């Protein structure tokens, strides 16, 4: 018996759940406006925000200038769609509007966005290679470390976000060209 594809919108946001937690990647029709990555807590929200001391249904996690966004749009789409295909979930594409992204993929996207938001443009390819070389669980862990103290769009280049930037842009030289997967502990 064939397995039916799961119903979803955007990049893996399930349609069979009522208002699930997700990320929204807001791409403006104008190529001059920043791309905004928003965490939407859905029906599980609002969440307490220790920085504002308020409850929030949505939190803006990052704003990227269009040039930086264009540099990561294709690699993130490719990585996310490979994973979605493996789970028999329809693939997504980036369009000029609000793009829903599964909550776990959104966390991974934030890690890459945070790494490139303030780095030298020449280091963006190294950040992409370093990000691709991480397992999803490693990306989730980095997101969890950064989000509590530096998880807002205006928290650039501080604490864990600065560490993510340095680790993915300057530490990516450890990944040999053509070998985008680093050795994991299981391989040792």
> Structure tokens of 68?
């930086």
Least confident of 53-62, 77-86, 90-99, 144-153: 53-62
State how far the Cα of 61 lies from the Cα of 57, in Å rounded to an integer: 13
Whether 88 and 12 have beta carbons less than 8 Å apart is answered as no
Which two tokens mark 130? 């370093």
Helix (H, G, I), strand (E, B) or coil at 12: coil
Lowest mean pLDDT among 41-50, 87-96, 106-115, 174-183: 174-183
Residue-wise pLDDT tens digits, 3-60: 566 789 999 999 988 889 999 999 999 889 999 999 999 887 766 666 666 667 889 9
**What is the pLDDT, as a whole number, of residue 42?**
87
Whole-angstrom distance, CA of residue 167 vs CA of residue 36: 23
**Structure tokens, 14:** 């399930």
């Amino acid at each position: 018996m064939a397995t039916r594809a799961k119903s979803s919108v955007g990049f893996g946001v399930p349609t069979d759940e009522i208002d699930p937690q997700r990320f929204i990647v807001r791409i403006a029709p104008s190529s001059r406006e920043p791309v905004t990555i928003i965490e939407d807590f859905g029906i599980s929200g609002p969440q307490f925000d220790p920085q504002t001391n308020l409850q929030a249904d949505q939190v803006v996690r990052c704003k990227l200038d269009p040039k930086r966004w264009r540099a990561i749009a294709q690699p993130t789409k490719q990585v996310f769609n490979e994973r979605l295909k493996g789970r028999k979930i329809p693939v997504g594409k980036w369009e000029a509007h609000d793009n829903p992204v599964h909550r776990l993929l959104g966390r991974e996207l934030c890690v890459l966005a945070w790494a490139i938001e303030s780095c030298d443009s020449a280091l963006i390819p190294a950040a992409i290679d370093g990000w691709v070389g991480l397992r999803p669980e490693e990306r989730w862990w980095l997101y969890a470390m950064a989000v509590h103290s530096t998880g807002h769009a205006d928290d650039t280049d501080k604490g864990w976000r600065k560490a993510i930037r340095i680790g993915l842009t300057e530490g990516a030289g450890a990944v040999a060209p053509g070998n985008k997967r680093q050795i994991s502990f299981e391989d040792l």
